[in-house]
Amino acid sequence: MKTQTPLNFVIVGHVDHGKSTLIGRLLYDTNSLAPDKLAEVKKISEAHGRDTEFAFLLDHLEEERKQGITIDTTQVFFKTEKRRYVIIDAPGHVEFVKNMITGASQAEAAVLIVDAVEGVKEQTKRHSYMLSMLGLNQIIVVINKMDLVEFSQERFDKVRNDIQEFLDSINIKPNHYIPISGIKGDNIANRSGNMDWYNGLTFMQSLDELKNNPANIEKDLILPVQDVYKVDDKRINVGRIEAGKIKAGDAIKILPSNQETAIKSIEKFLENTDEALSGECIGFTTQDSVFLDRGDIICRSGAEPVVTDRFRANMFWMSRKPFSQDEKLIIRCATQEIRCKIEVIEKRINSSSLELLEENADKLENLEVGEVVIKTKKPIAIKKFSQVQELGRFVMILNENIVAGGIITELD
């Protein structure tokens, strides 16, 4: 029997709203905890003078446990009767937003947690906004700590309306809003006896409804060249197919040089294959002796990505050192890596309040989003993020570090 692909989801929300606790509860209720792990957590909770803190199952760093916060993103595995899951826990503190983004960028779905007492807070909004930037569109909202508001429907409705209003403004349509208590277990695996007014799904049922990201097989071919190896006098180009499929004999076009040739062979170690699909890392040779290099994009004539040196994007700055517009950056999109500058920062936006801070700005500060025009030094092959994510998203490098992420909104 083949193992199913697990579903990856991230839990986001403001600090202390109960992310780590909810995960601990899920692991506990699904019997995914080894007794020795549970015993260890009990022991450590006692040593920190607390009742059993499920959060310690994930918050493993000494500093995390002492301070009772999550610093970095982590992943844990569990399964229900229906399937396997990977849960990505993300820190809720403003200082660790880049860790939250690291976690969320690996997810296919997101759970947004809101404390029923505190309601919508700064990171609730910022995290939601980041989810929309990352293109996540399967979202479950859980309103947590219902035990602290006497399981009140009125309170639930109020918090639900607040968050819904914000999510509407950024075009997020959640699958469900669920009242829960992570600590007590209400509406997690089992239906709560304390909230008869709620008829919707339990949290676990809502998870079992989520879908894996579809493979990009039906889209037009995109194969970025990752490297070129010489194996026994044979030049083998390698890369991962990001969209579409390919087989020996197929006519191809190479960007940005616009050369055309055909695939001679698909190469895989110890395998005889002449066809490969989106998601596969392959080697290939070409019929004509063209010299490929990392960053070349293989596609089909007539179905090419756009090759340009200027485009519009939403860029999220995540470095403590603010960006000043005269700095040169390096853009990385798939395997392409090109020098560039930010020609215009049309808008500077607060990523939590969505407030417009400045038009035609000359800087971006940590955690701000810019609507920008990017000018690359050499042509780059791209798509809009809404068309093909793999060629529509990028990171920016400054002094060898990733300092920003972004999505392409308009091609020039």
Partner 1 sequence: MSRSLDHLDKLENQSIFIIREAYSQFRNIALLWSIGKDSTTLMWLVRKAFFGKIPFPILHIDTTYKFKEIYDFRDKYAKEWGLNLIVARNEDAVANGMGPDKSKFECCNQLKTIALKQAIAREKFKALLLGIRRDEHGIRAKERVFSPRDEDFEWDYKDQPPELWDQYKTKATEEEHLRVHPLLGWIEVDIWDYVKRENIPIPELYFAKNGKRFRSIGCECCCGPVESDADTIDKIVQELKTTQISERSGRAQDKEDDYMMQKLRSLGYM
- Interface residue list for Mg ion (CB under 5 A): 19-20, 70
Number of residues that bind partner 1 (CB under 8 A): 63
Partner interacting with residue 74 (select from ligand GDP, Mg ion, partner 1, none; CB below 5-8 Å by kind):
partner 1
Q: Closer to partner 1 at the Cβ: 114 or 329?
A: 329
Please, which residue, 70 or 102, has the CB nearer to Mg ion?
Answer: 70
Residue 233 binding partner per list Mg ion, ligand GDP, partner 1, none, with a CB distance cut-off of 5 to 8 Å that depends on partner kind: none
* Shortest distance, position 376 Cβ to partner 1, whole Å: 16
- For residue 39, state whether it binds partner 1 (rule: CB under 8 A): no
Strand 84-89 versus strand 7-13 pairing type: parallel
How is the chain split among helix, strand and coil, in percent rounded to 5? 20, 40, 40
Q: Considering CB under 6 A, how many residues would be counted as binding ligand GDP?
A: 18
In the numeric block, the tokens 């695996």 are attached to 189
> Are the C-beta atoms of residues 196 and 220 closer than 8 Å to each other?
no
Only one of the segments 15-23, 190-198, 252-260, 311-319 lies at the binding site for ligand GDP (rule: CB under 6 A); that segment is 15-23
Q: To 10 degrees, what angle do helices 97-104 and 122-133 make?
A: 40
Instruction: Name the minimum Å distance from CB 113 to ligand GDP.
Output: 7
Q: Which helix (H) or strand (E) holds 64?
A: helix 62-67
| Contact between 170 and partner 1 per CB under 8 A | no
β-pairing verdict for 306-317 and 401-411: antiparallel
Helix then strand count (H, E) for the chain reads 8, 23
Q: Looking at beta carbons only, is 70 or 352 nearer to Mg ion?
A: 70
Taking CB under 6 A as the criterion, which residues in 124-163 touch ligand GDP? 144-145, 147-148
> Closest approach of Cβ 320 to ligand GDP, in Å?
22
Give the nearest distance from C-beta 334 to partner 1 in angstroms: 9
Contact partner at residue 182 from Mg ion, partner 1, ligand GDP, none, CB < 5 to 8 Å by partner kind: ligand GDP
Identity of the residue, 70 or 99, whose beta carbon is nearer to Mg ion in the bound complex: 70
Cβ-Cβ contacts under 8 Å for 188 (sequence gap 6 or more): 22, 25, 26, 29, 180, 182, 202, 203, 204
Binders of ligand GDP among residues 61 to 80 (CB under 6 A) are 70
Q: Per-residue x/- marks for ligand GDP, 81-120, CB under 6 A?
A: -----------x----------------------------
Query: Which residue is it, tokens 């500077």?
Result: 348
Q: Site map for partner 1, 268-287, x if CB under 8 A?
A: xxx----x-x-xxx-x----
Residue nearer to partner 1 on the CB measure, 36 or 154: 36
399 to each of 19, 102, 190, 253, 327, how far by Cα in Å?
34, 19, 50, 34, 11
Q: Which is nearer to ligand GDP, 19 or 312 (CB)?
A: 19
72 binds, among Mg ion, partner 1, ligand GDP, none (CB under 5 to 8 A by kind): partner 1
Write down the H helix ranges in 9-54. Answer: 19-29, 35-47
Identified binder of ligand GDP from the candidate list 7, 16, 112, 224, rule CB under 6 A: 16
Residue 258's contacts (CB-CB under 8 Å, 6 or more residues apart) are none
Taking each helix axis from N to C end, the angle separating 122-133 and 153-169, rounded to the nearest 10 degrees, works out to 40
Measured from the CB of residue 183, what is the shortest distance to partner 1 in angstroms?
21
20 binds ligand GDP (CB under 6 A): yes
Among residues 275 and 358, whose Cβ is nearest to partner 1? 275
Distance from chain centroid for Cα 152? 33
Return phi, psi of residue 393, to 5°. Answer: -130, 155
Of 104 and 163, nearer to partner 1 (C-beta) is 104
- Residues pairing with 142 in the sheet: 113, 178
DSSP state of 6: P
DSSP code string of 317-366? E--SSPEETTS-EEEEETTEEEEEEEEEEEEEEETTT--EEEEEESEE-T
**DSSP string covering 108-159, please?**
SEEEEEEETTT-S-HHHHHHHHHHHHTT---EEEEEE-GGGGTT-HHHHHHH
Asked whether the bond before 224 is cis by omega within 30 degrees of 0, the reply is: no
Q: Which of residues 80-119 bind partner 1 (CB under 8 A)?
A: 86, 98-99, 101-102, 105-106
Site of interaction with ligand GDP (CB under 6 A): 13, 15-21, 55, 70, 92, 144-145, 147-148, 181-183
Site of interaction with partner 1 (CB under 8 A): 2-6, 34-37, 40, 43-44, 47, 57-58, 60-63, 71-77, 86, 98-99, 101-102, 105-106, 215, 217, 226-227, 229, 231-232, 236, 238, 240, 267-270, 275, 277, 279-281, 283, 294, 318, 332, 393, 395, 397, 400-402, 405
